[in-house]
Structure 1
Amino acid sequence: MQEPFTEEEEETDSMNKARRDSPYILPHAHHTGPQLPSWPLSCLLALQHLLVQVSFLCIFHLLFITNLPPNAIRCCDELLACNLFACGIATTIQCGLGTRLPLVQAPSFEFLIPAIVLTQHMAPTRHSKGNSTDAPDLCAKPDCESTRSSDQLFHEVSGAVLVSALVQMALGISGACGWIAHRCGPMVLAPSLSVIGLSAYKPASLLCSENWGVALLLVLLNILLSQHLVSCRLPLCQWSQMRGFSVRLGGPALHMFSILLPFSGIWLVCGILRPIAALWERWHLSTHHLTLTNSTLQSPWLKVPYPGQNGWPTLSPHAVAIGAAMGVTASVNSVGCYVLCSKALRLPAPPQHAYNRGLCAEGFGSLLSAALGSVSGTASSIPNACAACLTQGTSSRPVWVTAMACILFGLSPRLMGLLATIPLGIHGGVLCLTYSVAVGTGVSFFQYTDIDSGRNIFIVGFTMFMGLLIPRWLLAAPGSLATGCVPVDLFFLSLLMAPAFITGSLAFFLENTVSGTPQERGLLNPFSPCKPEARDNYLQRSNMGSAQSYELPIALQKHLSRSWCKGFPLCLLCPLEKGKEESANINPLEVLRCSEEETTDPLLKQGTLKIESELQLETVQEPNVAQENLESHKRPIAAMPEEFSSIIMGKPLL
């Protein structure tokens, strides 16, 4: 006999039902699933993606150019055009053959810091302490190398990008990326994503300091549109022969374009007021070189980039060492971006073959970028993924349109020069908004773990603290890391200057060596990449359709025979059996019930624990339930299957 609802429970249930049925509450992923946005809406979302991508592209080249000697500065417009062209092709490959997630490709800070380390070693420059980057001064001693020409400098950096591409492709083809990623639980992902977001505070503060008014205006407008006006729907006028003109409520346009509207509006106002002696015309000293190179009148309207147009990359020992560090750190950043995007789409964690293919796609993009003479490779863009999470525009169609736009804009250096006139305060505001979402996404992974556990408190605090401490220490004392071999010094210096690599590697080591229960480690949740699963698990069967979104296109699968997929390296890039990639890529260990006092080893043994969803389903199906179990639940047993169906489908309980 069911117990009646209390007044408080009835009120809570009615509020939750009203919230679920309300048309003004946005779903977590607005454009996921088979329904795609219309083409006009896709073009607007693609424009928003393009502005965020170009903003980060300008930030990368700005911070790189300011660390070059004055005689080594090259035309910024052509560099931007070549890199954007490579990013467009890499985005197409990533969405079509890589992870197949809607990920825009762009440079990352993991390419920037090693490139600055290499340039400062080859061409020593003297900068003030207020410089914009976290690159150490390697040439404080008299035995530094002499300054080289600008062509040699750019060829060395392109050579490092080429080596990083080979490292990325090697990690993908060998399956190392997927193997490591599927052993990264929430206790590894949470601090890593949080530090990825926190590591951008210094360039964000520098760019915002160019004009705090512009940066704060962008941030405040975004908060107003994306948070306070989230349920505001604009009226749309339609005309038809049957009904004539009609007015209806449209979609949440203010929320979906909460970055596009402030970005374009502030840029337009600043462009109108540019001839006037406005406050934002007082450029910072660190950006003086970039403003001088933004001469759009000297750039051609059309220039098709081709490999070797500015010379071929140089593979010196220094470039090889720096490139290896670039490839490793960029791979860590990409894995975090894959997890972030899959969580925004409410998809299960990508399987191993998706990680491997995604890293191979990024390696191909970096290879093309190096051949075109660019100073940066391609990686999954954290700002674009965070912008999609913020605006709930996570469809693949706008990303395809963005890729085509990147290729077209990459053919015109003069148009890229016009895009480079975006005020620096806008760049700083975009960094503040996007990387704050990365921090919040990392923190959200703590909900799957027992954060009150002393084990988890130590792992989180220690890894995040060391991830921010070690780069700061090396920035102040780069000479303390000296092995006697300069390439080895550059390799370790570039690795240890990346906060995400330090935090991720330390968290991975501690998570897989310090014993803890699966509940502590957060392994019993549907979004954990390394969750132990049984073959007949109901949760796995419910996620089977979602996991198929990571497979190769059907047209390509028809031309791949099963015998090919069983050989190396296709066995690590393609699923062995359609619809069973989870059982092939996840640790296939049967797990049984584990007592609360018992701790588990890092490698779970057969017969040690049982899936949480199976335990819950068995509890529901038991005919005779003890009275003490009834008292521990607020709702009657009849309401329990609906809750479990919500858990299985990955929807939060309201």
Structure 2
Amino acid sequence: MCIGGTLSMPYLIPGYICAEGNYDVTAQLMSITLFMCGIATILQTLFGIRLGIVQGGSNLYILPIVAMMSSDKWKCPNSEDSHLQNSTIAGDKDEVWQLRMREIQGNLIVASITQVILGCTGIIGILLKFVGPLTIAPTITLIGPMLIGVLIQLNSKHWGVAFLSMGLTLLFSGYLANFNPPIPGWSMDRHCHIVKFPIFQLFSVLLSIGVGWFFCYTLTVSDVFADNITDVNYVVRTDAKLDAVFNAPWLYWPYPFQFGIPTVSSVGFVGFLIVTLVSVLESVCDYHAAARMSGVPPPPPHAVNRGIAMEGFASIISGMVGAGHGTTSYSQNIGAIGITRVASRAVFLTAGIILLVSGVVGKFGAVLTIIPDPVVGGVLTVLCGMIMGSGLSTLQFIELDSTRNLTVLGTSLIVALMMPEVFKDTEMAAKFKTGYSDLDQIVQLLFGTSMFLGGFIGCILDNTIPGTDKERGLLSWRAILKDNSENPNHSVDIYKYPYVTKFIERVKCCSYIPISPTFDKEVKCSCCYPKVENDYFETDEKGEKLVRKVAAENNVMEMDKKET
């Protein structure tokens, strides 16, 4: 499911760095992107958030690249330029796009260092205190509208095949989800036997892609799709992209600074920093969405801090090897968890290894590119819809009959959907011009990203408009953070490192490190925060009153009873 978003970046970036039509550059960026997706996924699954989340390149990183390359400094040279016209070596032409790539690399690395600092210092954990259901709901929900353009682009290649792929996904994951057909099985005690296996629930995505791919193959060999490159249905043929397989190298190993020493600029850094912050907010929401899909408690602060820091570290590596984009959590794969009910770390580690191998073995990754776009687009449409539903499901914690909550939710959604459309109109966008080109590009980035606007406006309004914790859903939201020791599957221990944590627990100072698995969000430096020994809730016999007791260092405070 990450292939669609992953493959889009290597095809988009060459057009902005003056390498359009240079398929060698596209193939090189393809290998680097797949390689980095594998590295980032393995690091995140083992050492980061430790949830089943695939990492990959985000289309958000195209925004600062477009902003940077639209300036006069980086406009592509004309073919009539003398230094290109008289060139007898390919090195000069390579220098044209490599010069721009080095600028992208440098700004990405510096912005990613900022992301690592945010995670390692625990600042993200502090900011999360202001993030509630009314912040997460619009942010995740607006992922769908942001991907509509990509989905239309994929599905419009052939709407019939796209709707077939959608229908198959709904058929396997919905109508046949509870149908377990008998299949042959084997075990040590029973040997060969028949077992009822939930094949449609577990493999609905693979089945949909496989059946859709085979359908396109059948129409290809029967010449229903014309073998004419000018025909509109030619791109749906399963042999339309075979040249990519033949031209791809067998082995390619990305290495740091292969395009030269990166450069940095203020405009590029600000642009990448803004997109990085948006990516951080998206990732935090994805962590909670993945936890909900996986049936485990929301990640504790130390896991969130570690996940953000690991994403930043992977983005630094991505910038060093020249991918042209950072890495972030892929929402599509979280939707796949909801459909397949598979959230095992082993599965996502395997996915990371497959992505890494796809980047190193060029032929392997190229085979994945020949899947017809409408087949992938149809499946992604259903999964993106599930992601939007997951975002809306967080509203169960708030009081939906509250005028205050409806105002916050409605305002954040309508403004976030309206402003990007405003900035698409040149005349209306001109009214927001400040007279400074750098500042204008920053404003366009901020107001042109609906997901950022929705989360930002929702967070500001939710924390400034008066409302009780119960009304805002914070009581229910915090209640699910508590560890349920009766069920090990519902324990926050899943976010700790196995075998190693018991040794870290012996080092008391580790409890003050924000990314340590023994970090306690309530244990802070005594000069800044009082040390909280216990924080729990009690109810009276009728369950109508709620008492919150906080025993602090040299201080015992009992708050008044509040009605639940």
Normalization by structure 2: what TM-score? 0.82
1:572 is the counterpart of 2:508: no
Q: Displacement of 1:163 after TM fit? A: 2.8
**Counterpart in 1 of 2:474?**
523
2:515 counterpart letter in structure 1: L
In 2 relative to 1, CA 294–582 (structure 1 residues): closer, same or farther, beyond 3 Å? farther
**Counterpart in 2 of 1:509?**
460
Equivalent-residue separation in structure 2 for 1:550 and 1:430 (angstroms): 30
1:529-583 superposed Cα distances (whole Å, 9 cap, x missing partner): x5599xxx8x76668861111123332552575244155xxx1111446xxx465
Aligned counterpart in structure 1 of residue 199 of structure 2, from 234, 244, 253? 253
**Counterpart in 1 of 2:277?**
328
Q: Displacement of 1:390 after TM fit? A: 1.7
1:177 counterpart letter in structure 2: I
In 2 relative to 1, CA 367–241 (structure 1 residues): closer, same or farther, beyond 3 Å? closer
Q: Displacement of 1:304 after TM fit? A: 1.3
1:252-291 superposed Cα distances (whole Å, 9 cap, x missing partner): 111111111111232244346546461696469999xxx8
**Counterpart in 1 of 2:85?**
none
**Counterpart in 2 of 1:137?**
none
Equivalent-residue separation in structure 2 for 1:346 and 1:265 (angstroms): 30
1:203 is the counterpart of 2:155: no
1:213 is the counterpart of 2:160: yes
Q: Displacement of 1:155 after TM fit? A: 2.3
Given that 1:191 and 1:464 are in contact with CA atoms closer than 8 Å, whether structure 2 keeps it comes out as: yes
Given that 1:369 and 1:378 are in contact with CA atoms closer than 8 Å, whether structure 2 keeps it comes out as: yes
1:373 is the counterpart of 2:373: no
Q: Displacement of 1:234 after TM fit? A: 1.9
**Counterpart in 2 of 1:183?**
130
Aligned counterpart in structure 2 of residue 170 of structure 1, from 84, 101, 117? 117
**Counterpart in 2 of 1:547?**
492
Q: Displacement of 1:362 after TM fit? A: 0.6
1:421 is the counterpart of 2:370: yes
- Unaligned 5+ segments in structure 2 are 77-94, 525-530, 545-556
In 2 relative to 1, CA 551–161 (structure 1 residues): closer, same or farther, beyond 3 Å? same
2:169 counterpart letter in structure 1: N
Given that 1:164 and 1:327 are in contact with CA atoms closer than 8 Å, whether structure 2 keeps it comes out as: yes
1:607 is the counterpart of 2:559: yes
Aligned counterpart in structure 1 of residue 404 of structure 2, from 455, 475, 486? 455
Equivalent-residue separation in structure 1 for 2:130 and 2:505 (angstroms): 29
Matched length: 515
In 2 relative to 1, CA 307–241 (structure 1 residues): closer, same or farther, beyond 3 Å? closer
Q: Displacement of 1:224 after TM fit? A: 0.3
Equivalent-residue separation in structure 2 for 1:240 and 1:349 (angstroms): 36
1:516 counterpart letter in structure 2: G
**Counterpart in 1 of 2:79?**
none
Equivalent-residue separation in structure 1 for 2:306 and 2:432 (angstroms): 35
**Counterpart in 2 of 1:80?**
30
**Counterpart in 1 of 2:380?**
431
1:278 is the counterpart of 2:225: yes
**Counterpart in 2 of 1:267?**
213
Equivalent-residue separation in structure 2 for 1:73 and 1:560 (angstroms): 54
| Mapping of residues 557-568 of structure 1, within 5 Å | 557-558=502-503, 562-566=507-511
Equivalent-residue separation in structure 2 for 1:385 and 1:402 (angstroms): 13
Query: What secondary structure does 1:248 align onto?
Result: strand
**Counterpart in 2 of 1:10?**
none
Normalization by structure 1: what TM-score? 0.71
Given that 1:182 and 1:352 are in contact with CA atoms closer than 8 Å, whether structure 2 keeps it comes out as: no
1:298 counterpart letter in structure 2: N
Structure having the higher strand fraction is 2
1:112 is the counterpart of 2:62: yes
In 2 relative to 1, CA 583–609 (structure 1 residues): closer, same or farther, beyond 3 Å? farther
Equivalent-residue separation in structure 1 for 2:32 and 2:187 (angstroms): 46
1:426 counterpart letter in structure 2: V
Query: What secondary structure does 2:142 align onto?
Result: helix
Given that 1:463 and 1:506 are in contact with CA atoms closer than 8 Å, whether structure 2 keeps it comes out as: yes
Q: Displacement of 1:497 after TM fit? A: 2.1
**Counterpart in 1 of 2:42?**
92
Equivalent-residue separation in structure 1 for 2:353 and 2:448 (angstroms): 34
1:607 counterpart letter in structure 2: M
**Range 455-464 or range 77-86, more displaced:** 77-86
Given that 1:168 and 1:359 are in contact with CA atoms closer than 8 Å, whether structure 2 keeps it comes out as: yes
Equivalent-residue separation in structure 1 for 2:390 and 2:188 (angstroms): 48
1:486 is the counterpart of 2:431: no
- Across the aligned residues of Structure 1 and Structure 2, the Cα RMSD in angstroms comes to 3.4
Given that 1:88 and 1:405 are in contact with CA atoms closer than 8 Å, whether structure 2 keeps it comes out as: yes
Equivalent-residue separation in structure 2 for 1:241 and 1:347 (angstroms): 32
**Counterpart in 2 of 1:150?**
97
In 2 relative to 1, CA 322–171 (structure 1 residues): closer, same or farther, beyond 3 Å? same
Given that 2:36 and 2:356 are in contact with CA atoms closer than 8 Å, whether structure 1 keeps it comes out as: yes
Given that 1:302 and 1:412 are in contact with CA atoms closer than 8 Å, whether structure 2 keeps it comes out as: yes
**Counterpart in 1 of 2:417?**
468
2:176 counterpart letter in structure 1: L
Equivalent-residue separation in structure 2 for 1:228 and 1:376 (angstroms): 39
Q: Displacement of 1:160 after TM fit? A: 3.2
